[in-house]
Amino acid sequence: SQSTSTQFDLKGYWTTLIAEINQKLDQAIPVQYPGKIYEAMRYSVLASGAKRAPPIMCVAACELFGGSRLAVFPTACALEMVHAASLIHDDLPCMDNDPFRRGQPSNHTTFGVDMAILAGDALFPLGFRHIVYHTPSELVPESRILRVIAEIARSVGSTGMAAGQFVDLEGGPNSVDFVQEKKFGVMAECSAVCGGLIAGADDDEIQRLRRYGRAVGVLYQVVDDVLDAKVQKSEGKEEEKKKKGKSYVALYGVEKAIEVAEELRAKAKKELDGFEKYDESVLPLYSFVDYAVDRGFNVGVSSS
């Protein structure tokens, strides 16, 4: 499978989709009265440099089963909206207190804490609204839309990402696995599952996408942690204290983290092997897995 996945042009697939998704997101949030809230929402959703991993994984999962982009785009965009809402609230002074996000001032730094809270509060329902009013009903039956809405709501809710953020803030021994799974695994899991749901995948296939997505989501983060550790080592930074409890590397060390990453990579690919009857349609999902690892280790090597 490794040889086939390298033949797939993920970069081209990704770049094309990013442009389309950015355009749809731009149209989805027109500025109206009161302008400030729409600007705050747009600021985070349309931030430049966003990789759009959740919507792209969602589209790829939908296309695996022959679902159309027209059917899945509203859901893909909604994932990005609720994801942005979570990140805005995570960055707040009373939470992670991050003045920056992706090298830009975070939402509350630019618009104030009150507006940042409200922007998040508005982006969650906008996601659901967008799915309901923009998914073509002739392509997606309402019963599927309800499953997608339930999936997204559960993923961002009190047993999903909010739980991950809570345990992250509270700290506590051995919380890293829980935090990684909930804060990062859940979004990818939800993205893959929603794509499958829109396309009408059967329950076994949905479960497979669930395990695949979760593995890839955590994999990304573990690799990020390894990367950060290498950068910090080479630059002599001592920020690990702040990150302690949130990072695999801080808890287990680099070698063990790399081992975990390899296990996750194998696990994700094993799940995809179950989709072999779909032939080439599964290639984008394979290439996500290798990209998650290789991007990290390449960058890590070049910067050391």
Separation of CA 282 from chain center = 19
Residue 67 CB partners (closer than 8 Å, separation 6+): 195, 198, 199, 200
CB 176 within 8 A of CB 222: no
Closest CA to 120 of 167, 174, 84, 69: 84
CB of 182 to another protein, least distance (A): 9
The one among 64, 79, 87, 126 contacting another protein by CB under 8 A: 126
The one among 9, 26, 142, 177 contacting another protein by CB under 8 A: 142
How many residues are there in the chain?
304
129 lines the binding site for another protein (CB under 8 A): yes
Number of helices (H), then strands (E), in the chain: 16, 2
Per CB under 8 A, the segment of 47-55, 92-100, 217-225, 250-258 that binds another protein is 92-100
92 lines the binding site for another protein (CB under 8 A): yes
136 lines the binding site for another protein (CB under 8 A): no
The one among 60, 156, 215, 283 contacting another protein by CB under 8 A: 156
70 lines the binding site for another protein (CB under 8 A): no
CB of 18 or CB of 132, closer to another protein? 132
Provide long-range contacts, Cβ within 8 A and 24+ apart, for 301-304.
303/230, 303/231, 303/234, 304/230, 304/233, 304/234
In the three-class reduction of DSSP (H, G, I as helix; E, B as strand; rest coil), residue 140 is classed as coil
CB of 114 or CB of 276, closer to another protein? 114
Per CB under 8 A, the segment of 16-24, 55-63, 120-128, 277-285 that binds another protein is 120-128
Residue 34, preceding peptide bond in cis (omega within 30° of 0): yes
117 lines the binding site for another protein (CB under 8 A): yes
Residue type, 288: F
128 lines the binding site for another protein (CB under 8 A): yes
Q: Which of residues 159-218 bind another protein (CB under 8 A)?
A: 159, 162-163, 165-167, 169-170
139 lines the binding site for another protein (CB under 8 A): no
User: Residue 92: is it exposed, middle or buried by C-beta count within 10 angstroms (0-12/13-18/19+)?
Assistant: middle
Number of Cβ atoms within 10 Å of the Cβ of 239: 11
Total residues contacting another protein by CB under 8 A comes to 51
CB of 37 or CB of 46, closer to another protein? 37
Return residues touching another protein (CB under 8 A). Answer: 32-34, 36-38, 41, 85-86, 89, 92, 94-95, 112-115, 117-118, 120-122, 124-126, 128-129, 132-133, 141-143, 145-147, 149-150, 152-154, 156-159, 162-163, 165-167, 169-170
